[in-house]
Amino acid sequence: MIAILKYSAGNIKSVQNALTRLGYKSIITENPSELLNADKVIFPGVGEASSAIHYLKERGLDKTIISLKQPVLGICLGLHLMCRFSEEGGTKCLGIFDTDVRLFPPVDKIPHMGWNNCLTMKGDLFRDVTVDDDLYYVHSYYAEISSYTVATCDYIIPFSAAMQKGNFYATQFHPEKSAETGEKILKNFLEL
Amino acid sequence: MLKKRIIPCLDIKDGRTVKGVSFINLIDAGDPVELAKAYVKQGADELVFLDITATIENRKALAGLVERIAAEINIPFTVGGGIDTVNDVSILIKAGADKVTVNSSAVRRPKLISEIAGQFGSQCIVVAIDTKLVDDEWIVVVDGGRTITELITINWARRVEELGAGEILLTSMNNDGTKAGFSIDITGEVSRSVNIPVIASGGAGLMEHFRDVFFNTSCSAALAASIFHFGEITIPDLKKYLINEKISIRY
């Protein structure tokens, strides 16, 4: 069973719809034991960092997330929340990825919204995907490139399109909204 | 590189697409979901669904339709028409819409924009601005162009950005339906004046019009309805053409 973390963020249903299209059953839950016992956990998100962290901490879900041993996929805000600190609301995050999340400098349109390709990519998530394939982004904050970065994208500056540390995976783009390329990436994660 | 987006717009009335659609090989050309799927297959970058009836009775039906779209469509889509309150937005977002668009209701009560942005995030609120050239000044019009306001378009665009809009859908009523091309001047001026993405709309008739608006303004996307519905321009042909013209496009 795939568990999708339920919290104060939008876009959760979209993730479930995408899994259903791929033929996977999933539950949307904030129950710690359901999360701990799932085969895979997806940590989605569109929303604001400080209120999301507040919501997770209130329910003790912050501790649940960092203790997960199965493959976990953070998406967009989920990626930000898995980092150390986000400039959005000056938020101390979960610290899975020892790197920070910053606001794009206002030299071009913000949010970075639309389809963009990767500059580099490596690892399990990107099997059968190339740097020419576009993925859908919508975000104003980005994770700096670090030793956890497994894919990079460029908008205003190069940033982490995807990160990985052990069983924790995260994407800045929305695989559930990225047409066939996104489906390949989700499938790669689900088949880990 | 970030790509310029091509966005077909589907007008919905009583749960069906209107404006006569002449797509071939569709089981049911009036079904918005079937049409949407065809556009996704052709390579549309996003979709916009506008409920042009937008009465209270239809709201439930619209939410049901949005659920069906969300279940079947793997690209982002925006829903609009008759949104007056945060509660209206909540219903559509819960049904699976990625973004909502507001127009006249935001002009009447600008705070609606900040209320929606506050609850669902700026990325989910597209403010549609209809504009008309009146005595050499681009002015905001509402109620589908019937009512001329006193708002100067540039000022209103800046204001909606301040209020938390994530994107502006700018339609030139002078150009809409003419097939003579997008309005380069107001699209350029609005795109320069705000730091959020602007979608150009109104006037697309030829592939060259898309090139011109992308080449001459910093708009992020271009929207059209009838030329796509009637198959006058297909999305794959348009995208191929724009790539040849050195416009950054997802293909």
Q: What is the CATH number of the domain that holds A56?
A: 3.40.50.880
- For this structure, is A139 an active site residue? no
- For this structure, is A76 an active site residue? yes
Asked if B197's CB is within 8 angstroms of A13's CB, the reply is no
Q: What is the value of ipTM here, to two decimals?
A: 0.94
Cis, peptide link before residue B76, omega less than 30° from 0: no
pLDDT of A37: 97
pTM as predicted: 0.95
What is the pairing mode between strands A85-86 and A168-171? unpaired
Q: Shortest CB distance from A10 goes to which of B1, B4, B124? A: B124
Q: Is the pLDDT of residue B222 over 90?
A: yes
Q: pLDDT band at residue A102, thresholds of 50, 70 and 90?
A: very high
Give CB contacts under 8 A, 24+ apart, made by B32-40. Answer: B32/B65, B32/B69, B33/B65, B33/B68, B33/B69, B33/B72, B33/B73, B35/B10, B35/B229, B36/B10, B36/B69, B36/B72, B36/B73, B36/B77, B37/B72, B37/B73, B39/B8, B39/B228, B39/B235, B40/A179, B40/B73, B40/B74, B40/B75
Please state, in angstroms and rounded to a whole number, the distance separating the CA atoms of residues B219 and A3.
39
B160-186 pLDDT, tens digit each: 999 999 999 999 999 998 999 999 999
Question: CA angle at residue B164 from B113 to B44, to 5 degrees?
Answer: 90
User: A147 in helix, strand or coil?
Assistant: coil
Kindly list the distances between the CA atom of residue A125 and the CA atoms of A130, B11, B93, in Å, as whole numbers in the listed order. 11, 37, 28
Cα B37 off chain centre by: 18
pLDDT of B145: 84
CA distance B8 to chain A (A): 15
Q: Which of residues 128-157 of B touch A (CB under 8 A)?
A: none
Percent of chain B with pLDDT over 90: 74
Q: Residues of A with CB below 8 A from B86's CB?
A: none
Give CB contacts under 8 A, 24+ apart, made by A131-135. Answer: A133/A181, A134/A178, A134/A181, A134/B3, A134/B250, A135/A161, A135/A171, A135/A173, A135/A174, A135/A175, A135/A178, A135/A181, A135/A182, A135/A185
Residue B42: CB atoms within 10 A of its CB come to: 16
B97-130 pLDDT, tens digit each: 999 999 999 999 999 999 999 888 889 999 999 9
Which range among A32-36, A99-103, B87-91 shows the weakest confidence by mean pLDDT? B87-91
A139-172 pLDDT, tens digit each: 999 999 999 999 999 999 999 999 999 999 999 9
> Is residue B7 within 8 Å of B46, Cβ to Cβ?
yes
Assess B118–A contact: CB distance below 8 Å, yes or no.
Answer: no
Q: Shortest CB distance from B74 goes to which of A113, A117, A179? A: A179
Q: Shortest CB distance from A136 goes to which of B4, B75, B195? A: B75
CA distance B137 to chain A (A): 25
Q: How many domains does chain A have?
A: 1
CA distance B2 to chain A (A): 5
> Is residue B198 within 8 Å of B191, Cβ to Cβ?
yes
* Chain A positions with Cβ closer than 8 Å to B: 10-11, 13-14, 17-18, 20-21, 46-48, 106, 108-117, 134, 136, 138-140, 154-155, 174, 176-180, 182-183
Which range among A56-60, B23-27, B28-32, B119-123 shows the weakest confidence by mean pLDDT? B23-27
pLDDT of B15: 78
Q: Shortest CB distance from A109 goes to which of B72, B94, B195? A: B195
Q: Is the pLDDT of residue A183 over 80?
A: yes
Q: Quick one: average pLDDT of B30-54?
A: 90
Q: Residues of B with CB below 8 A from A116's CB?
A: 1-3
Q: What is the largest CA-CA distance in chain A?
A: 45
Range ranked top by mean pLDDT from B35-39, B87-91, B125-129: B125-129
CA distance A64 to chain B (A): 25
Q: Which residues contact B16 (CB under 8 A, 6 or more apart)?
A: B30, B31, B32
Question: Which structural domain, as residue segments, surrounds residue A60?
Answer: 2-190
